[in-house]
Structure 1
Amino acid sequence: MNNYAKLSAKIIFSCLSIAIIGCSTQKDNATNRSLQNLSARYNYIYNSNVLLTTYQDDLSQTYKDNYDNFLAVYIAPETSDYLNISTTPSNVKSLDEITQKAQTIISEKNFSNYIDEAYILLGKTNFYKGNYFTAVEYFDYTAKTYRSNKNVFLSAMTWKARSLMQLNNYEKAELTLDTVKATLDSVKSEKAEPLATLAQMNIYQQDYKGATSYLEQAIKETNKIQSRTRWPYILAQLYEYNKEYDASLRNYTKVENSNAPFEMYFNAKLSKIRINDILNSQTSNRKQQLLKLLKDDKNFDYTDQIYYEVAEDYFSDKEYKKAEEYYKLSAQKSITNQYQKGLSYLKLADLNFKNLSNYVNAKLYYDSAVTTLPKNYQGYEGILKKAENLEYLTKRYQLIADEDTLQFIAHLPEQAREKKLNELFEPKKEVNNTTKTIDNGKVVKFDDPTKTQNSDKFYFSNTNAISRGFTDFKKRWGNRSLEDNWRQSVKSSAQVNQQNQSAIIDNSNNSTNMLAANADKESRIKEYTALLPLTADQMVKSDQKIIDAYFEIAGFYQQVLQDEEEAAKVYEELLSRYPQNNHLEAVYYSLYLVYAKTDQAKSDLYKNKVLAIYPNSVYAKTIVDPNFSAKQNALDLEINKIYNTIFDRYEQKDFPTVIAAVNETNQRFPGNSLQAQYDYLKAIAIGRTQNVDSLLIAFNTIITKYPDDKLINPLVLDHINYIQANLPAFKARKIALIDFDPTEPRFISQRENTVVVVNKPETTLTKPEPEVIKPITPVTTPVAITTPSVPVNTKSQEIKNEPTVKPVDNLFSKAESNIYYYVVSVNDMSLSVSSSRFGIGQFNRGNYAGTALKHQLLELDEDQLIFVGTFASLDEVKTYAESITPQLTKIMKVPATTYKGFYISKENFDKIKNRELLNRYIEFFKNNQ
């Protein structure tokens, strides 16, 4: 019987084999479908799923979770530098193999029942490769084609939603998940992944209650071990956020007692300590428990997180100094976890900014946080903005340190000064310490490390090994100088300053460079000595820099940071160091405002000082009438409007009307902000209609009335000196100032006016060519050597400050040029800028006589550009900008919101063709000045 059965089986198998060979694989028949199903299922689908599961397991092992936020419900490739998964060749190879198998099913097993699963696999491989747009197309096609198969349809829609979420297209993802929710009840199994996807979407939408509900259902439906550890941890996080501490504790305990990865186990344990602490209303025991974890060697890699948690406890207890101490320890111990280091820096920055009011340190920590945290960190832009704002304070504190140091050295007797400078710039000699401590404290001395025993086996004696190492280093890092923070290709402003200071007192460790260093020492001392304020005039200028810096710092505290307490300290420090300074009325008024809420007696003291000492000041008038400022703004607009009208009459040579209009305006608005300029117009109009004696009377009246005016006064003095030098020629005229007539002989070496004016000259009061062009002195910033009395960078050794990255516009160049312009752009074509150009001409002739500066007008489609030049260097145009900027409010007769001043190289200026390019350059200028 058994032999008969075996014979029958052989006959059947032979017949089946013959039938198979005789049939084409492309024929749609029962046999062919059966064979294709068999082959597709076991040779392709099964193997592909095994490969995909292995890939997902490997992914979970390499993925870096951020336990300070909600964990991702499912793992997907990220774009962030710190959350990225390293895709090794083997990973890519497995995904490529799955793709090949799926494509084989679609092309060769087209009569099988696994075409739908093949498309799902193609969608998943594209998802894990980060090709989310392609993945969406595959899942969408599968969902539409196999809609009748509810399990396939549900899987395709679930993965389509995941792909859309990775593309940040939450609106379409939400619509897709609406379909997923509607389909869930129609299937009996495989619900875990759709529910998990719904939970992830709710977390993105910050609907944590809804996420909790979906995740609880997903945990019940799943049969994957990984999901039974990861999802309870997320569920515990959600419960903790919702302050359901008992449920949270229960889930953290579940994770702790599972076979979860050690990092998840460790964080679950930390969280349990935190929640138990909350439930027991105590914190001291929690700190002890956390610090006990440091004694366990298994927790060594999580030292930074432990210190961070301890710091958080101290912070919640308002023990800010202790909190700062442990945040620093956390940042110091964060060697591999850059995200944790960034969080610690951010906490230190906020602590110094909000609680310790140390804004200089806060700026340094914000710099470090910006360069350490990933750019997709929530609130990243806000951190960057704070860092940029606090740069304002840091620069001014540094300036004070610079000037204090210069003054300190300047006040030393000559011999002591020379000794001090020699000490500062003395290159340190190399100390060749060949003594090494090894073998648990045993001291061994090597005369030459390369001549030890078995030197041929010593790594650094192997030239081939050194060569390979050097080549590998260059491949990764390129050419890097041997210096602090050598990994950084671009340095922050603080690091650049520090390196510049180090360059002054360069400690050369190379004996071959000692001669060069010593030779350079004398020139550096000479350069630095030139910056010392050795004369009374130089000391006054140095003091003024310090005064201005203190005043600006206090104003920043008061107006930008709204830290009135710190503002009061700085104002008081300014008054203490400089009881007499040029900002007294503003300082008294500011202190009056600062103390109004906290110390009424002090507030009244400073108010009375303003009213008694400066009764005619804007501040006194504002105290008497709180609406004075608004009224003054309206008045200034009216004064500008009238000035433009009178100037139009001046351009039309209606000089009698100009004189009458100025007299009327001065009667209506005595002491207005432009009165000196009104009187100058009147004086010129007198010169155009009357003799030189009347003109000199008008000019001398201006000098007497406005002795401190920096715009008109220099110009009028220049005019008077010129007239006095050529008085006989002016006396011979009936009218002092006449238009130039080319048919008449030129008046005493008269030259063409170097100041460009539309269609007509401003006046015939021209000068002979000067013999010497007045130089424009560049401003040089002294080298900073810190002094104890001034806040300085105390974190330079602790914080590896990266640069605050600013946007780069590749259209414009920072390359040096030999032609620069100073530009005032007016963004309203309907405004007349004639009077404003006239004001710029007044400033140039009064302050830069003989420099051949011209001011010209360029009209774009929407903007008017008044540009002044040319300047031969960046230092020259910067100096000009610094001198004209304080006068712009008087010079420009257009609303302050319509104009901006900046400097620019000719090469960049030629690229500005429209408003878009103008705005791009202004942004470029702000980021790179």
Structure 2
Amino acid sequence: MKKSIFFLVTCLFFVSCSTRKKSAGSPFMKGFYAYYNTLFNSKDALETELRSRDKAHVDNFYAPYIQLLTYDEQPMGADLQGSDMFSDDNAPGAFNGPGVPGSPGAPGMATNNRIAGSGASVLQISEAKALKAIANYSVMKSGEEKNKKIFDANILLAQSRIYQNKPLEALDGLNYIFANMRNDKRLPLARIYQGLAYSKMGDYYRAEEAFADLKQSSKLKKDHKKLLSLYYSEMLLMAGKKENAVSELEDAYAINKNRKLRSRIAFLRGQILASLGKNEEARESFVSAYRNANDFEFEVKSQIEIAKTYNGKNDDYEGAREYLEKISKKGTYASRKNEFYYGLGLMASRAGKKEEAKAFFAQSLKEKMSDPQIRGLNYYEIGRGFFEDSDYLAAGAYYDSALAVMTYQPSKILLQQQSENIKQVSANYYLIKKNDSILALVNMPEQDRIAYFNKYIDGIKAKEAQEELQRKRDERSKGFDGGDYSANSIFAGNTGGFQDFGDNKGGFYFANQSTVARGEASFRQLWGNRSLSDNWRTSARGSSIEDLRNEAMGLATAPDPRRLETAFYIEKIPVNREEILTLKKARDTATLGLGRMYETYFSDTPLATKTLYTLVDTNPEEETKLQALYSIFAFNYEKNPAAAERAKQMILAEFPYTSYAEFVKNPRDNTFTKSSEEVEKLYSTAFELYSDDKFEDSQKTIADALERYPKDALVPKFALLNAFNSGKTAGKEIMILQLEQIALNYAKTAEGEKAREMLNYLKSELSIEMTDESGNVTNPAQPVNAAPVEDASARPQAPARPDASTRTRQNETRTPRPRRNGNSSPQMNNTAIPPQEAVIR
């Protein structure tokens, strides 16, 4: 009975269907034509483009973050189930392709792949086909789109435009869905791509708004949740919300069961946690990435990242070191020994074991190269060790080697700048060292000189004896076969004698000049110019650095016949006073530059301060000393006021009538508060003293007021009145310096404006006539360091007494670096300057 009933129902169904004719314009037929004609071609073109990108892509593990989704995992249209990205098992040989366009580290979206015989790219064809499907097969009734395939067409349109880096245009197709397909059950997928388009535009606020609304939806399908978690986490990372991105990646890891995708999620999560300084959590995440990895490259890189998370303090360094050394010798991992030794070097460096770290990095360089970037990073780490020991020349040499082999461009750009800075520092450093050595010998007693050079000669003899012993050993070993028969040798397994690197098979390598030239260029790129010697990979580098040091110090590399005579060296010590002073001046100038470089290039304020104070203590020339003291104060007055105080007091004591002195008195912006009656009384007193020609008493009153009330609203008025006092007591030039400082410090105040007006007036006076008490001209031709002319109608007026309207004021300007005045003040001219004696420290 059941079979009979089923048969009858089936027959009735077909009969009923046949009674209704399907017209070509019906939604059913339109959907059929849309998919199996135009829409199919759009989807096929998009898949072709993504497969092409897959083949050209290699994961970049040196970028700050890897990308999550790979191009071969992108769902086409609304076909989430058709993608491998959400299956529990990966297809054999699945490729780790590039991520979502625009994600951190992802390549550019636009490509140059074009169809043969066509001027359009593959993505443009996919876009055009999607537009054609929408135009030809749309079925609009009562403001609703009835052809369900138009949803796929608009999603494909959005995808093709996003991959062309046109996210704004991609929103057009999605908006069509929101306006005309409001009841479609797949609408959340359109919202996901809407959020993706916003994130590609950099509009993270709208993107997060779209993703957050979807996250709270209870009707979201499981596949949609998986896709949302991936796009949402990447958007949060691009927006700089690392903590939220970590949380979202945890959800993504729990939802997605695909091992390959889980490995990428865990790896990215570990990178973010490491950047936040959460090493233990990052290590756990990298371990998860390693366990889920079905790709050899991911396994190795995960192990390296695990090594980077050890800080050597509370971690089991010894256990981790033994583990990495053990697995580096196992099976296929042995081909990546250089990378594992690099990881071991990083662990040792973080544990404070510098010598052990250096040995691991050197061992990594000896192993077969698997990745040029790793080789460059080894050179960089060794160079960084020399840099921390202030051996800048050696550091620069290793940095240059790193630049020659590194492949990751951002790292190369940063290292290039640092290498240039180190070269400038090295030039100053070795000039100082050389001149210091010479000056020390100048001041050394004769007997001490002889003892010093006798010790130096003994060292030369010992070195030459060792070199002679090594030469004899090399002579005895001549004739023995020292060929390289290891598995990595180019001669291993070659039955034809020499390996042919050219196009002609069986030819002699060195008979082909083009292949020889390529080989030499490749060798220089990896190793630089090396001399032929044993252990050339390491020993040549050490000797070349030694040669560079000797050259920087002015030491001859070729042996001199008189090198074993004490008199040979003593004769070279300068005795001419001018020559000695020239050496000292060059040393002092180089030391000033070196101190500034430490702060500017490396932000090493303590070392910069120490270097500059050492210069100040050697009693350099006045200009050099003032520049050094100013630099010390400028570097430290906010970071370390105690270190700046000594420089401040020395400037005030030794260079009181300079703009530097004005700067150290008021180095930063001040926000002035309401003035009190007591301060107003002090200002009135100072003003009356000025009016009574008691300029020194007025200055003392002002100095007392500024010391007691440094943030009062009348501080600018005090400064301006003090400038007038200086004009009367110290002269026009000192007054100009103080007015310039007022114009800079209080630019937005009435006093600042007044100072600028007075500067224009004073600087226009090329010469001023001096008069006696009767008004007679005493020296009409000589410019005078005096106050402005006594014509009351022409001279600028002193600042007036304060009133209620000037009791509160804000100063918002920043004090720039002051200028050094070229002319001395009258007081400095009257001071006897002692001659520079031969006491040179």
TM-score relative to the length of structure 2: 0.49
The one of the two structures with greater contact order (alpha-carbon pairs below 8 A, sep at least 6) is: 1
